[in-house]
Amino acid sequence: MEFHFSSRLFEDAINELSKLPGIGKRTATRLALHLLKQDEVNVVRLGESLIRMRKEMQQCKKCHNISESDLCNICSNPKREKDTICIVEDIRDVLAIENTGQFNGLYHVLGGLISPMNGISPSDLNISTIAQRVVDEEIKEVIFALSATMEGDTTSFYIYKQLRNQPAKTSTLSRGVAIGDEIEFADEVTLGRSIVNRQLYNGA
């Protein structure tokens, strides 16, 4: 369906909004009209917050989570359990697990999953630093919180092989998260129970 606009500025705003995930031209038009009705100070605040986020956010140098400084708020929090690391695919999974309130350790964000079909190898992910973290931080447990998919299982097994000679125990989420499910889409209760009832992982 072709859209016609009477204003170039309005059209430009809609075109940019429609580039966001899950936002089509019709939804982008509603959003643009909503913003036009708002006080200018509110719209400016929104724009400035987005610009600051893009310019100032970086990766945590330890876990690769989003951060405003070298270490994210989780890694720098003295109340977190420093001897447990939860390995996740991306930042959305950190947010999902944090929302359960059932985990108080640290994270390691891979930035994806091993997928030869899609040309993603271990060297494309944040895998090489995991073994060193286990040694340097005297980690006692590594939790694989990866999606229950072929790619997730492949990635867990690859990392497990890197850690086989380390004293840290390895565990994985209980299968309250169904086979084929993505972590970020699991409901909080199911995900929370899967963390609490995690099982030892032996590469099987």
Q: Could you tell me the pTM of the whole model? A: 0.79
**CATH code of the domain containing 37:** 1.10.8.420
Average pLDDT over residues 174-178: 57
Q: Scan for tokens 């970020």, then name that residue.
A: 184
pLDDT tens figures, 4-35: 667 899 999 999 999 999 999 999 999 999 99
Query: Can you give the residue range of the structural domain that contains 33?
Result: 8-56
Q: Which helix (H) or strand (E) holds 171?
A: strand 169-172
Domain contains 63: no
pLDDT tens figures, 186-200: 556 566 666 766 777
CA distance 61 to 131: 15
**CATH code of the domain containing 108:** 3.40.1360.10
CA distance 185 to 135: 32
The answer on 38 and 83 residing in a single domain is: no
Round the average pLDDT of the chain to a whole number and report it: 88
pLDDT tens figures, 135-158: 999 999 999 999 888 899 999 999
Q: pLDDT tier at 179 (50, 70, 90 boundaries)?
A: very low
Assigned token pair, 26: 């019709």
Domain contains 61: no
Q: How many domains does the chain contain in total?
A: 2
Torsion of CA 139, 143, 146, 152, to 10 degrees: 80
Torsion of CA 204, 149, 142, 76, to 10 degrees: 180
Domain contains 142: yes
Say if strands 169-172 and 106-109 run parallel, antiparallel, or are unpaired.
Answer: unpaired
The answer on 164 and 87 residing in a single domain is: yes
pLDDT of amino acid 201: 79
Query: What is the CA 72 to chain-centroid distance, rounded?
Result: 13
The answer on 107 and 48 residing in a single domain is: no
